[in-house]
Chains A and B, each alone.
Chain A
Amino acid sequence: MTSTIAAGTKVDGVALSVLLFFFILVTIGGFLAAKWRRPESMHSLDEWGLGGRGFGTIVTWFLLGGDLYTAYTFVAVPAAMFATGAVSGFFAVPYTIVVYPLIFIFMPRMWSVAHRHGFVTPADFVRGRYGSRGLSLAVAVTGIIATMPYIALQLVGIQAVLDTLGLGGSGNWFLKDLPLFIAFAVLAAYTYSSGLRAPALIAFVKDTLIYLVIVVAIIYVGVKIGFGDMFRAAEAKMTTKTKTGAATGVFIPNDKTYWAYSSLALGSALALFMYPHSMTAVLSGRSRNVIRRNAAILPVYSLMLGLLALLGFAAIAAKTNVIGADGKPNAQLAVPHFFHDAFPSWFAGVAFAAIAIGALVPAAIMSIAAANLFTRNIYREFFKPDATPKQEAQVSKIVSLVVKFGALLFVLTLDKQNAINFQLLGGVWILQTIVAIVAGLYTRWFHRWALLAGWAAGMIYGTVMAYQQKSPATAHFGGSLAKFPFSHTTVYIGLSALVVNLLVSVVLTFVLRALNAPVGADSTGPEDYYSDSDGPAVRVRGTEGGLAEPGVART
């Protein structure tokens, strides 16, 4: 049993060694992954960026699970529970349940049309469907700027672990940030060489560790603290009045916060599968049914997320101290400190490894997704229309390095609060691509220029509203909730922005159609949205079937 952490403690050698062991293990795995289901050539985006589009149900399950449930979720959701309770934290549970019926309905269509036309990114689809370079660029840029802070937040997760271990805090900036720098350099190196295969393989290690840790932690809470006492402690904290006279947080939502809770759950669910990295993982599946089956079995991760969220309450009951190595309180440290206080060093090391590796998997997938967007929808679209698959893969590899380095700079130079603010904005932004993408899967009714105007309106409205939110900690970007226009109901900003977006798109479509504005070419046909793995495909490099000629069926 280790003692409570105070500012400037010495390094916990045992926990650090365990963390290092797992880190080296996944590093070796990451480099060896290039040999897994070895393709004839890694020199295309289908292979490097989508793992050959050949992952089955199990691999996709681990990959999507590793992708959607990030280290930041593991640290931030319990931190939010610890600080302000259900509305800011526990909504993640309904959110990650509601998302799967949505994936079940929409994503097989996306998979089919992408498989049929060789689309790699959501912006590729928009380009093909609406024949609009502007709209495709808007979707691509939104994807990239929404993903960057998300990668940065993975680093915040690792930082929380390093801080708990006694690395960081005091000392000069170079030594303080060196461990983070090394971790990311190694991650960048194996993503470069193995592409999407690296996170797919490492996800196995990550999830095994996470499940192990959470089962042990929940048994510990049940036996040592007791669930009844845990909830009572949480309720007592949440109902305590702060200096301003308001309650500290929400234990169970009431009629003032019903809409906040459900709009956060729905809005986040809609945003989650619009993120480029979830699209990447979905498109790497082998068939439509791989996606459908995964929609049914992925909620298992939500069980784990819910239990992890409760650890925020457990930290309240255990009176966990959240003072960081820099001497300031930081709710993000609730879970790492809880593990450090409650468990022997070696097990705390396993928990820290789970969080750190949990950061590496999504960071790798996100950087691949952002790189693919840049390559397909900016580089090839605007600079080199005749790029070969090999050149595309090369550009993507380099951009994935740039993206990760950018995220690192972001975290090292800007305040942590900025990363969280931008992540909040990222969710609002990515939600604005949903009208073009999801409506596009079903209908060409919307006019491409109306969609672009709707996107712009939603982006501006969402950004301004988020900027205006104050909180005790910050003057701007203080939260993701605001009053719905012309009402007193507090809802998720992303969802109100989406309503604005939709209104503008619908109204302008009527106007533009009346004016007979050119609608643009649609390169997709009605049957493309139903085609399965045995249907005709463009540029499929199968793992067993070899290279198919364009337009020739692989049966």
Chain B
Amino acid sequence: MKEPSPRRLPTGVAAAAGVLLIIPVLALLIVPLYAKKGPQLWGFPFFYWYQFLWVFLASGFTYSAYVLIERARRGERR
């Protein structure tokens, strides 16, 4: 049985992950950024396709935060 080790992240990694996670939140909560009709894409007004686009971008940002944290953890254990 190994001792439970402190698993706190280095401040830099935690801050970087925090930024990656806050970007999608801000991109969607600041509505004036995207509440417009044009430019259209395949008949979709900007308002609609922008939010669909952020489904994928948010997933990417969140996954990057995950990878960042995982790398830091693994490095720590070595």
A-to-B contact residues, CB < 8 Å: 86, 90, 93-94, 97-98, 100-102, 104-105, 226-231, 251-255, 258-259, 261-262, 265-266, 289, 292-293, 295-297, 299-300, 302-303, 306, 310, 527, 530-532, 535-536, 552-553, 555
Contacts and interface: CB of A to CB of B under 8 A. Distances in A.
Given A292-B66, A296-B66, A527-B6, A266 B29 contact: yes
Please report whether the interface of chain A is mostly helix, strand, loop or mixed according to DSSP.
Answer: helix
Interface in B15-65: 18, 21-22, 24-25, 28-32, 35-37, 40, 42-45, 47-48, 51-52, 54-56, 58-59, 61-63, 65
B48 A289 contact: no
Given A101-B21, A231-B44, 17 more contacts: A90-B51, A93-B55, A97-B51, A98-B24, A101-B22, A101-B24, A101-B65, A226-B43, A227-B42, A228-B40, A253-B35, A255-B32, A299-B58, A300-B55, A530-B6, A530-B8, A531-B7
B55 A531 contact: no
A86 B47 contact: yes
Contact of A293 (B7, B28, B47, B66): B66
B2 A104 contact: no
A301 to B, nearest CB: 9
A84 to B, nearest CB: 16
B4 A527 contact: yes
Contacts of A293: 66
Contacts of B22: 101
B66 to A, nearest CB: 5
Given A104-B21, A303-B55, A306-B55, A94 B29 contact: yes
A90 B48 contact: yes
B13 interface: no
Nearest to B66: A292
B58 A552 contact: no
Contact of B28 (A265, A297, A306, A552): A265
Given A104-B62, A252-B37, A532 B24 contact: no
A199 to B, nearest CB: 24
Contact of B69 (A101, A292, A535): A292
Contact of B51 (A102, A226, A254, A306): A306
A230 B43 contact: yes
Contacts of A310: 48
Nearest to B29: A262
Please report whether the interface of chain B is mostly helix, strand, loop or mixed according to DSSP.
Answer: helix
B1 A101 contact: no
Contact of A531 (B4, B29, B35): B4
Contact of A105 (B21, B28, B63): B21
Contacts of A226: 43
A319 to B, nearest CB: 19
Q: Which of B7, B48, B54 has the most CB of A within 10 A?
A: B48
Given A226-B43, A296-B59, A265 B29 contact: yes
A226 B25 CA distance: 31
Contacts of A303: 52, 55-56
Nearest to A258: B31
B58 A97 contact: yes
Nearest to B41: A227
Given A86-B47, A90-B51, A555 B31 contact: no
Give 3 closest A-B pairs by Cβ, nearest first: A228-B43, A227-B43, A530-B7
A266 B18 CA distance: 17
A226 B44 CA distance: 10
A253 B43 CA distance: 18
A310 B62 CA distance: 26
14 contacts: A90-B48, A97-B24, A97-B51, A101-B21, A101-B25, A105-B21, A252-B37, A253-B35, A262-B29, A292-B66, A299-B56, A303-B56, A531-B4, A555-B1
B48 to A, nearest CB: 7
B48 A98 contact: no
A299 B55 contact: yes
Contact of A261 (B31, B56, B61, B65): B31
A94 B28 contact: yes
A350 to B, nearest CB: 24
Q: Which of B25, B31, B63 has the most CB of A within 10 A?
A: B31
A299 B52 CA distance: 10
A293 B35 CA distance: 31
Contact of A297 (B30, B43, B59): B59
A388 to B, nearest CB: 27
Contacts of A252: 35-37, 45, 47
Contacts of A531: 4, 7
A100 B62 contact: yes
Nearest to A310: B48
Q: Which of B40, B58, B61, B65 has the most CB of A within 10 A?
A: B58
A93 B58 CA distance: 12
Contacts of A296: 59, 62-63, 66
Given A104-B65, A230-B43, A94 B1 contact: no
Nearest to A309: B48
Contacts of A101: 21-22, 24-25, 58, 61-62, 65
Nearest to B9: A530
